[in-house]
Amino acid sequence: MCKDCAASDLSKLEPVFKEFEGDGHALVTILQRAQEIYGYLPADVIYRIAERQGVSPAKALGVATFYSQFRLKPVGKNLILLCKGTACHVNGADSIAAALKDELGIEDGGTTEDGLFSLKEVACLGCCSLSPVMMINETAYGSLTPQKAREIVRKIAAEGTAS
Ligand code: FES
């Protein structure tokens, strides 16, 4: 069985189904819970949720792809959220993005082959005074320069995780 086709442990969903039993409007909430459990939304999980909520797999997948909060692929151990909001944009977020993409060899939404980093460009992270800013897992890194951003991910790569 290929890595991407590996079956998820669907029994982990049962408590969630129990909690929302009979609630036909809970699709988004159940998908959120599933993402908390699995870290992303594997295809077999989406299918099971669709089946249990009485909607088509296409509808569940449509919801999962519509909202940017949902991830359809596993994320790396360190999730980099790079702010592309206005303040960060004005203060050079594009050059930070270019440095990170070059350093990691991935594009926005991508994950490094070793599974260590995922990169996602996002809107304002709410700490504009530190712009340009990125968050890696729970830690915010501000006043970035391209060189500083490279050094941060190199240090994390050497240590394995940000926090
Ligand atoms: S615009 Fe980047 S933190 Fe607000």
Domains contained in the chain, CATH given:
8-66 (1.10.10.1590), 78-159 (3.40.30.10)
Q: In whole angstroms, give the CA distance from residue 47 to residue 52.
A: 9
How far apart, in Å, are the Cα atoms of 6 and each of 9, 10, 31, 43, 111? 10, 12, 19, 10, 18
Peptide bond into 132 cis (omega under 30): yes
Burial of 147 (0-12, 13-18, 19+ CB in 10 A): exposed
Handedness of CA 41, 42, 43, 47 (dihedral sign): negative
What are 15-58's pLDDT values in tens digits?
999 999 988 899 999 999 999 999 889 999 999 999 999 999 99
Q: Is 143 in the pocket of ligand 1 (CB under 6 A)?
A: no
Residue 2 has a pLDDT of: 43
Q: Is the pLDDT of residue 1 over 50?
A: no
Q: In whole angstroms, give the CA distance from residue 101 to residue 118.
A: 10
Q: How many A from CA of 87 to the centre of ligand 1?
A: 5
Q: Is 28 in the pocket of ligand 1 (CB under 6 A)?
A: no
Burial of 36 (0-12, 13-18, 19+ CB in 10 A): exposed
Strands 139-141 and 134-136, sheet pairing: antiparallel
Which two three-digit tokens encode residue 7?
Answer: 């079956």
Q: Is 87 in the pocket of ligand 1 (CB under 6 A)?
A: yes
* Residue to substitute in 94, 124, 144 for testing ligand 1 pocket (most ligand atoms within 8 angstroms of CB): 124
pTM of the model: 0.69
Cβ neighbours of residue 12 closer than 8 Å, sequence gap 6 or more: 37, 38
Q: Is the pLDDT of residue 139 over 90?
A: yes
